[in-house]
A and B are shown apart, each in its own frame.
Chain A
Amino acid sequence: AQSVTQLGSHVSVSEGALVLLRCNYSSSVPPYLFWYVQYPNQGLQLLLKYTSAATLVKGINGFEAEFKKSETSFHLTKPSAHMSDAAEYFCAVSPTGTASKLTFGTGTRLQVTL
């Protein structure tokens, strides 16, 4: 069985500062990894995904994530936070790339302050 751990349920950064949201996973087979973003009162939307190609994955809105097999991590970063980045972020893993096997983390709420 696979699992996802997101360290920190709340993260606060200043506008312009580095954003780092942590995600560690466990999977018995090579995983497919995803980051989703949820803005207030909206559904989730895909930010980026890792599917065993390049280990550094670029997503929308300037976000990127690096797959590190040795650390079983897939941390999400953005060099400079913007007020519009305030949202909840979910890491997810699927061992086979199958939607029905997708496991979500518990989410990290990002606050961006002036």
Chain B
Amino acid sequence: NAGVTQTPKFQVLKTGQSMTLQCAQDMNHEYMSWYRQDPGMGLRLIHYSVGAGITDQGEVPNGYNVSRSTTEDFPLRLLSAAPSQTSVYFCASSYSRRSGRVGGELFFGEGSRLTVL
């Protein structure tokens, strides 16, 4: 099983450039999410989705957009990159509560390291 696949693994951007981080999962999970990981701050939720066509903001959504047109894919867009967005980004998926299984068990991709100059 591929699980959760993120691309690219590394990216360097200049301030003001835009880009999309791709995330795909093959586990038929309804829940998908994006986190950023910064030293000493743990993981912070950016955006999440509980199913195709449904997205919502997390703790740190500013500067990021998402969409969910299919169950499998959940891309994260940076419209105008800023140095404060230098971070490691993780996509994670999970079961929905409708499945009867407990949420909180997240399945993570390997991360995308983004540097904004």
Which A residues are closer than 8 A to B by beta carbons? 9, 32, 34, 36, 41-46, 49, 51, 90, 92, 94, 96-100, 102, 104-107
Contact = CB atoms under 8 A, between A and B. Distances in A.
A43 B108 contact: yes
B33 to A, nearest CB: 7
For chain B, give the interface size range: 20 to 34
B108 A98 contact: no
B111 A34 contact: no
B30 to A, nearest CB: 10
A31 to B, nearest CB: 10
Contact of B42 (A41, A45, A100, A105): A105
A44 B108 contact: yes
Interface stretch (B12-20, B68-76, B78-86, B98-106): B98-106
A96 B40 CA distance: 26
Contacts of A51: 102
B25 interface: no
A45 B40 contact: no
Nearest to A102: B104
A51 B102 CA distance: 8
Nearest to B29: A99
Nearest to A45: B108
A6 B108 CA distance: 21
B106 A44 contact: yes
Most chain B beta-carbon contacts within 10 A, residue among A45, A100, A104: A100
B2 interface: no
Contacts of B50: 100
A92 B106 CA distance: 11
A76 B33 CA distance: 26
Contacts of A34: 104-105
Interface in B24-38: 31, 33
Contacts of A99: 31, 33, 48, 92, 94, 103-106
A46 B97 contact: no
Contacts of B44: 104
